[in-house]
Amino acid sequence: MFPAFSGRYASLPDRMRAEMAPTPVAAPRLLAFNRPLAEALGFDLDAFDATRAAEVLGGNAVPDGATPIAAAYAGHQFGNFVPQLGDGRAILLGELAHRDGGLREVQLKGAGRTPFSRGGDGRAPIGPVLREYLVSEAMAALGVPTTRALAAVASGEQVVRQMVEPGAVLTRVASSHVRVGTFQYFAARRDSEALSLLVDFCIERHYPELADLPEAERALALVEAVVERQASLVAQWKGLGFIHGVMNTDNCAISGETIDYGPCAFMDAFHPHRVFSSIDERGRYAWDNQPAIAQWNLARLAETLLPLISDDQERAVALATEAIEAFAECHDAAWTAVLRAKLGLGAEDSQGQPESRSTDGQGGQVADEDLALGEDFLKAMEEGNADFTLSFAHLPRALAGDEAALAEGFERSGRLEAWLPRWRERLAREGVADEVVGARLAAANPQVIPRNHLVEKAIRAAIDDDDLSVFETLLAAVTRPYQTPDDTSLLAPPGRDERVLRTFCGT
């Protein structure tokens, strides 16, 4: 049933990881299994055995070819540097070949104590496991680079956090689990050899277009490539009203994938300073702070690679600074593209020519105009205390002339009423049929997201009643986010007594 594993990261020097098996659990039971992802990873689903799957993915058996390890890394947590973190409750089994030709690492999260546990129990409660499963699969369906969930396995044991709840193990799949904090771990130890090995690993795995560069150029080129991916990633988060919640450097993946769905949340009513994480007391990782924090995290990556960028420290700092400062332009371009798509706009200048080929000087002006148009819609949503997802999802109705259907979601609609004619005028300049604009809007704006109150309902049903049907219904809806679900209550924002305003890490 299981394909054969390999272990590229496990082949790196011993000081980069600890080789160890998962700690067995009392009574592994499969709660959820991602069959489409499993098929893409080469599983033989005709021979699928739920009992065997639970044994392996619960940590009670090691599959063929796997070399289980816990990886070392460090990180800035809410701005404070911790020189040793590492996989404190996760075991990397190894990697599998994906049908797209790439490799994917398979990790068990909640698999028991490791040398990096720092006194923790190494386990995971069922709540955070089901949350990560739901949200990561929703993000994948929304087209956002992300880690994936292959399985959730009940452990048959209890875990104590804010409360006592059943334990579980999540099988997480990622292009790799190398983070900014991985580089920080070895930079803090002045281990240039390990840093060079990490640069080579990340280029081989994530940026093969850089493979032929001379050794002296590879570290800087890696920083530049990661800057571009992270800038695009954060713009995509913002376009969904998504707040990561723990954008520490150990949760900033070199691959450009979203990693670690702890206290994350999707906004209901829009507010740019929205925070949900119970541990983010000062709003460091609020919705509108995410670009600046991502840039800050990447500056820490660049710092670790200064010795590899140039032997001349002054030159290395100058080159690294230039690479990091490029983040703002990359993000602004990506954010403008996201807003254009969400407003149904084409990337054209006022003369109807693609911006990249514009020769009349209007391309940049229209980019600024479109950015302002998108952000002014957000301001109208903020003034009106309007739902982020539904406001964008209802734009096709306004396009068709039913502006009231959009306005009814706004408690105050003055800004919206002033904005709508500007939007219509911008669309008219393109000369594109409403049917085309409507299709653009439908493709860019989801109807269903894993709203906090829905996720909590699914978790409570699983914990209190051992009922996974609520989870399964929500999973089916959020993995088809652009379709209207049979249960239309999944579209609605929470009622006043359903609001979930705080989320937790589960560590």
Residues acting as catalytic residues: 250
DSSP state of 150: E
Q: For residue 18, is it left (φ>0), alpha (ψ between -120 and 50) or beta? A: beta
Beta strands 164-174 and 148-160: pairing type? antiparallel
For residue 85, give both structure tokens: 């973190």
Return d(Cα 116, Cα 18) in angstroms, integer: 9
Q: Which distant-in-sequence residues (6+ apart) come within 8 Å of 145 by Cβ?
A: 229, 233, 236, 255, 256, 257, 258
Render the burial of 202-221: b for 16+ CB within 10 Å, e for the rest. bbebbbeebeeeeeeebbbb
For residue 297, give both structure tokens: 């995290």
For residue 190, give both structure tokens: 């002045």
Q: Which distant-in-sequence residues (6+ apart) come within 8 Å of 217 by Cβ?
A: none
Query: What is the DSSP track for 179-222?
Result: BHHHHHHHHHTT-HHHHHHHHHHHHHHH-GGGTTS-HHHHHHHH
Return d(Cα 96, Cα 42) in angstroms, integer: 8
**Taking a C-beta distance cutoff of 8 angstroms, is the pair 244, 264 a contact?**
yes
Tokens 């240039």 label which residue?
192
**Taking a C-beta distance cutoff of 8 angstroms, is the pair 94, 7 a contact?**
yes
Return d(Cα 300, Cα 290) in angstroms, integer: 15
Return d(Cα 98, Cα 376) in angstroms, integer: 42
Task: Give burial (CB, 10 Å; 0-12/13-18/19+) of 425.
Answer: exposed
Amino acid at 339: L
Q: Which distant-in-sequence residues (6+ apart) come within 8 Å of 168 by Cβ?
A: 31, 110, 124, 125, 126, 129, 130, 152, 153, 154, 155
For residue 58, give both structure tokens: 């619960």
